[in-house]
Amino acid sequence: MLPISTIIANTNSCSRRRSAIIPHMQNKPIGIFWECRACGFRFAEAPVQSHSATRQCPICGGEAIIGVAVYPQPTNPMSRPSPTPHPTIALLLDNLRSAYNVGSAFRTADGAGITHLYLTGITPTPPHQGISKTALGAERTVPWSKHLNAPQLAARLRSEGWTIWAMETAPTAIPLQTLLKTELPKHLLLVFGNEVAGIDPALLSLANAVVSLPMFGAKESLNVASALAAAVYAIRTAS
Ligand SMILES: [Zn+2]
C-alpha cells in the first residue's frame, strides 16, 4: 500500500525556482519517484539522499526532473487489527542456510501474528546483519529461541499439544488447500527445512502431516521465505 504522494517538482524551472520546488523538506520524504524526460525511465530514490530537485537518469544520463515525493503516513495504533487468535501458529526453521530467509521469516511472522520462531541447527539467529537487512526490526518484536536439535524440540512440542505440519514438496504431501477445508488445529507448528536438502527425515517422521503448496510452473518448489509467507497467510486468512 503506497502512501499518498505529492507532486514536488515539475519541468524546466530555472535553478532559482528549483530551490523552492520541494516543499516540506523539513518534513523529509521517505522516497521520491523520478521520471527521465529523455527516455521515460521511472525510478525510485529511497531513502532520499539529497535535496536537489533533479536527478541524472541512470539509463541514458539525461536529466530526470519530474519527482513525486512520498511522505511518511501518520500511524493510528487503533486501526491495527488484533492478530487472529485462531489458530496459534509457531514456526520451526531448521537448518536454514540463508540469514536473509530468516529475516524475511521474522518479518512475515510479525505481520501474521506468529507467536514464536524456533531456530534450530545451523539456522542463523539474531543479532545478525543479514537477518536485520530483511527483518527490518521484526527480529525484536517476534519471540524466538535457539535450539540445537530440531527433532528433540519437535517431539517435545508435539507432546505439549502442538500439531506439526512439515512444509515440503513431496509426492505424498497433502496440498495445503485440502487441509484448509478441514477444521484447523488450535496450536499449529509449521516446519521449514534447508534450502537444498529439505526437511530432516527425523523431523518429517514427527509431523502430523507433510504439506505442500500448489506449483504451476517448471520449478518444484518456492524459495523458503516465499513458501513460508504464502502458507502462513493462506492459513491466517482461511480461519
Ligand atoms: Zn533516461
Q: Residue 46 contacts by C-beta under 8 Å, 6 or more apart in sequence?
A: 30, 31, 32, 70
pLDDT for 78 equals 64
Q: What is the pTM of this model?
A: 0.79
How far, in Å, from the CA of 28 to the mean position of ligand 1? Answer: 26
> Can the peptide bond before residue 47 be classed as cis, meaning omega within 30 degrees of 0?
yes
How far, in Å, from the CA of 36 to the mean position of ligand 1? Answer: 5
How far, in Å, from the CA of 124 to the mean position of ligand 1? Answer: 41
Place of cell 523431523: 203
Q: What are phi and psi of 153, to 5 degrees?
A: -65, -45
- Span 182-227, pLDDT tens digits: 999 999 999 999 999 999 999 999 999 999 999 999 999 999 999 9
Q: Residue 149 contacts by C-beta under 8 Å, 6 or more apart in sequence?
A: 120, 121
> CATH fold of 82-238, please?
Alpha/beta knot (3.40.1280)
How far, in Å, from the CA of 6 to the mean position of ligand 1? Answer: 22
- For the chain, give the number of residues: 239
CA-to-CA distance for 45 and 107, rounded, in angstroms?
Answer: 23
How far, in Å, from the CA of 163 to the mean position of ligand 1? Answer: 55
How far, in Å, from the CA of 57 to the mean position of ligand 1? Answer: 5
Domain ranges of the chain: 5-70, 82-238
- Span 21-41, pLDDT tens digits: 444 445 788 899 999 999 999
pLDDT for 73 equals 81
How far, in Å, from the CA of 35 to the mean position of ligand 1? Answer: 8
How far, in Å, from the CA of 2 to the mean position of ligand 1? Answer: 24
- Span 7-23, pLDDT tens digits: 444 433 333 333 334 44
